[in-house]
Structure 1
Amino acid sequence: MGRRSRRGAVLAAGLLAGGVLAGCGQGGGIQEAAAPDPAVDPAAATSAPAVDLAEGLLPASAFAPGATVLPLTEELLRSSGLPAGGVPPGTELDLGDCAALLTQLQAAAAAGVDAAAGQAVLEGAQATVQGLVAGSAAGDAVATVTGALEGCRTASASVPEHGAATVTVGEVRRPDLGDAAVEVAATVDATAPDGRQVTAPVLVAFVQDGDRVMSLATTVLEGGALDEQAFAGRLAEAYRVQDEALG
């Protein structure tokens, strides 16, 4: 995987995850998905709590053959040029009516989180990010984020050397999963550093399962449409896998 593609995957991961994966442990490498081998595990961090949570991530075999699976580690985030868990220096934000949502995401990431694990997956032009966090903050995190989403319509950011993007929030849904769940559709209109214009659909979901919150997000990096039914199926599978693996 080239440096540019690797960096693109990490930037997509950062945008999709919304900061909830800050604090992931070290370690891990790149995996290639193989359809007939369900024993391939997502890469785990080196600390014991993160290893346990990583066991609840979707295995590489859950994705298309040849998909690239990247564990979200501090080392990988640093290689992207973005600080792990922070906003890059010089970033210009215009959050508008989405300021409350960012505040709630940051609070969920910082308060009462005991462990975290995550992965970014590239399947052709489609990027998917899955995260798991555990801790006392999970109790009302999904309900709080759901409330904040109701008033969120547009937000924009400009990041030095990485370009600018405007996010337009669409329909908010409540899947029947776990103790609480929310799913939102959005559109990202981005300008690359070279001036190239890109429009991409995004689907993001959060599901609470006891003292854990699972996040799943997907986008198409080179334009095109997302299959909402396929996303719903993968969300249900991801919830089942973490529930069976972690209890």
Structure 2
Amino acid sequence: MDKKLAESVLSIFKDCIFDGELTEYSFEEKILKYLPEDLNYDYHYGATKIVFILPDKNFVIKIPFSGRYKDKMIEINTKQGVKRKRISSYSKFTGAQSPMSVEGDEWNYCQVECDIYALAEEEAVEDFFAKTECIGFIHDYPIYVQEIAKIYEDIFYSCETEKTEYRKKYTEEDYEKIDSLCYNHNYDYFNKYWLCDAFKYYGEIKGEEFLQFIKNACVGDLHKANIGYIGDRPVIIDYSGFND
């Protein structure tokens, strides 16, 4: 992304609160509350990040959460005896496993995606991934963008829709071939329909290189919300995993 556009994106979040404790339960008070009033956007979030979608842009904005709140039981001495009470406490992420791990960065799942993409470029399989890059910092907190893609589960919102569409494209022999390939080489077999599209689009050699790459880089959690398409190109959208 060029510098001018990056600065424009970063300016959206200039009034937001980045104090080192951003979670899926606090982003409304710390980010959404301080966005420009005239900003037109949609957003989605999960355990490790929030994603902003802006109209007519070819990218989405990703902001990593720094941790989460965990419940635990404590014992309190009262006049009536010992009572147990559930409390929530903030815990910083520690399981963001990057193939280029830097000590102290284990909280940042967006940076894991950047590192995996850089490694994929070295292995010439980067086209299988929607590119993620860090465009700068707001109050020392990193902000990322990623190529926008159509999410698989939004296209095929039901199993019946999925099966009906793919009956037109592939045969049972095609699915069995992918199934056998993944089983014989102990590859991560995550979605036979998307994999058929990937092997058709990239070719069998590149397809196998990709499967070997995600195996070596420990890329997992590839459910229907984390895969998709940029045009006709099958891509992985969220490839940081979750280990906390």
Q: Same fold (TM over 0.5)?
A: no
Higher-Rg structure is 2
TM-score bracket relative to the smaller structure: under 0.3
Q: TM-score, structure 1 length as denominator? A: 0.26
Q: TM-score, structure 2 length as denominator? A: 0.26
